[in-house]
């Protein structure tokens, strides 16, 4: 390329120069104007140009150098100005942003989800039902005799249909989530394998150890040939998953109207490992749930043939499990929403 064309080409490049910061600007200066820069090189070559061309080319070359220097100075000023502006505004773009204040999950939600997760691994799905229920689903279909004390006003919150009615009505707040089991049994055909988590209500004075509402997770499995051994195996699996592989279980005979036989399950105390401590009152065992084989009367009341099908059921208090896991001494903490308490579960 002739010298003149190269000068014109560089002129176009110089007009187009852009630099975002001081480093880029310095790179441009070196490229064009340093000792070995492209423009400086042209000046060296200029010496060999025939005299008659020197005048015109010389002017062009000078123009190119001025333009390059002018453009670089202009950009330098812009960069310095923007830096000053930034310094003046005291904006620190290198500072890490304030952390976003995240909420924490409630300990009862954590425990309920863990229980659901453990049972979902052996095929249980979740079923839900209403908290305001009728007598039939909470007691009647579950083989409670009409005069059973659980129906008593002391335990159950009855809902008065009209203000002024003194007599208990059959609308009530469910006192256990077994009511969801009756709903599932009447609406689904076996095999049934459900977990029923939810809030339940009992007419109790509020103290560190009792509350008028708490939470349960109940389970129900109905199929052909379900035996007590199946129940025991499922509960042993649950206890080990929830409290650690060294956990042992113990079943004690008990009574529930809706199961026969019935049992209460203890686990080896997870605080002293079964040696005996203040928490387990020196026994080495702590009670965690009630269970049993579904009473044939219940199956029949829900339209399931008790000669073909059998099943097991179990029910546990979420607060109880949470106490064992997190050692919460006062039950009221679970419903007071004190952030100093809730924040302690941040990393769970």
The residues binding ligand PHE (CB under 6 A) are 176, 178, 218, 256, 259, 290-292, 313-315
Minimum distance between the CB of residue 246 and ligand PHE, rounded to whole angstroms? 26
Minimum distance between the CB of residue 259 and ligand PHE, rounded to whole angstroms? 5
Conformational region of residue 297, where left means phi above 0, alpha means psi within -120 to 50, and beta covers everything else: alpha
Conformational region of residue 75, where left means phi above 0, alpha means psi within -120 to 50, and beta covers everything else: alpha
Q: Nearer Cβ to ligand PHE, position 156 or 178?
A: 178
Strands 171-173 and 249-256: unpaired
Q: Which pair of structure tokens corresponds to residue 31?
A: 């490229």
Q: Nearer Cβ to ligand PHE, position 70 or 123?
A: 123
Q: Strand (E) positions, the chain?
A: 125-126, 132-134, 171-173, 192-201, 213-223, 249-256, 259-268, 285-294, 310-317
Which residues lie below 8 Å from residue 136, measured CB to CB, with a gap of 6+? 170, 182
Dihedrals phi, psi of 278, to nearest 5 degrees: -65, -35
Q: Nearer Cβ to ligand PHE, position 127 or 313?
A: 313
Minimum distance between the CB of residue 175 and ligand PHE, rounded to whole angstroms? 7
Longest CA–CA separation in the chain, Å: 127
Q: Which pair of structure tokens corresponds to residue 235?
A: 């509960």
Q: Nearer Cβ to ligand PHE, position 190 or 290?
A: 290
Measured from each CB, the residue nearest to ligand PHE is 315
Distance of alpha carbon 296 from alpha carbon 309, whole angstroms: 9
Q: Nearer Cβ to ligand PHE, position 285 or 314?
A: 314
Q: Nearer Cβ to ligand PHE, position 177 or 268?
A: 177
Contact in structure between 15 and 71 (CB atoms under 8 Å): yes
Minimum distance between the CB of residue 155 and ligand PHE, rounded to whole angstroms? 10
Q: Nearer Cβ to ligand PHE, position 75 or 315?
A: 315
CB atoms within 10 A of CB 304: 21
Minimum distance between the CB of residue 184 and ligand PHE, rounded to whole angstroms? 13
Minimum distance between the CB of residue 236 and ligand PHE, rounded to whole angstroms? 16
Q: Which pair of structure tokens corresponds to residue 213?
A: 């509402």
Distance of alpha carbon 280 from alpha carbon 247, whole angstroms: 14
Angle, CA of 103, 104 and 109, to the nearest 5°? 135
Minimum distance between the CB of residue 95 and ligand PHE, rounded to whole angstroms? 55
Minimum distance between the CB of residue 313 and ligand PHE, rounded to whole angstroms? 4
Q: Nearer Cβ to ligand PHE, position 69 or 131?
A: 131
């Amino acid at each position: 390329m002739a010298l003149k064309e190269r000068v014109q080409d560089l002129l176009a490049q110089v007009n187009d120069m852009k630099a975002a910061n001081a480093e880029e600007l310095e790179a441009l200066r070196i490229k064009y104007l340093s000792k070995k820069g492209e423009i400086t090189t042209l000046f060296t070559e200029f010496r060999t140009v025939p005299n008659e061309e020197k005048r015109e080319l010389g002017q062009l070359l000078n123009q190119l150098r001025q333009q390059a220097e002018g453009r670089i100075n202009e950009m330098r000023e812009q960069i310095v100005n923007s830096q000053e502006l930034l310094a003046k505004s005291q904006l620190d773009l290198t500072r890490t942003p304030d952390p976003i204040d995240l909420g924490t999950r409630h300990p009862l939600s954590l425990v309920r989800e863990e229980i659901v997760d453990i049972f979902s691994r052996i095929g249980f799905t979740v079923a839900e039902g209403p908290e305001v229920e009728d007598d039939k689903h909470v007691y009647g279909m579950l083989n409670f005799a009409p005069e059973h004390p659980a129906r008593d006003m002391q335990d159950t919150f009855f809902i008065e249909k009209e203000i002024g009615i003194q007599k208990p009505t059959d609308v009530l707040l469910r006192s256990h989530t077994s009511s969801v089991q009756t709903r599932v049994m009447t609406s689904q055909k076996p095999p049934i394998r459900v977990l029923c988590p939810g809030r339940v209500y009992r007419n109790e004075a509020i103290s560190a150890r009792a509350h008028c509402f708490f939470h349960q997770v109940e389970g129900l499995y109905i199929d052909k040939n379900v035996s007590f051994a199946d129940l025991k195996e499922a509960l042993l699996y649950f206890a080990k998953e929830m409290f650690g592989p060294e956990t042992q279980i113990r079943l004690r005979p008990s009574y529930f109207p809706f199961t026969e036989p019935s049992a209460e399950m203890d686990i080896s105390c997870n605080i002293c490992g079964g040696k005996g401590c203040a928490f387990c009152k020196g026994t080495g065992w702590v009670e965690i749930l009630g269970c049993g084989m579904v009473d044939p009367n219940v199956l029949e009341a829900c339209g399931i043939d008790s000669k073909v099908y059998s099943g097991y059921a179990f029910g546990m208090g979420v607060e109880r499990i949470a106490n064992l896991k997190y050692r919460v001494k006062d039950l009221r903490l679970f419903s007071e929403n004190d952030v100093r308490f809730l924040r302690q579960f941040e990393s769970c």
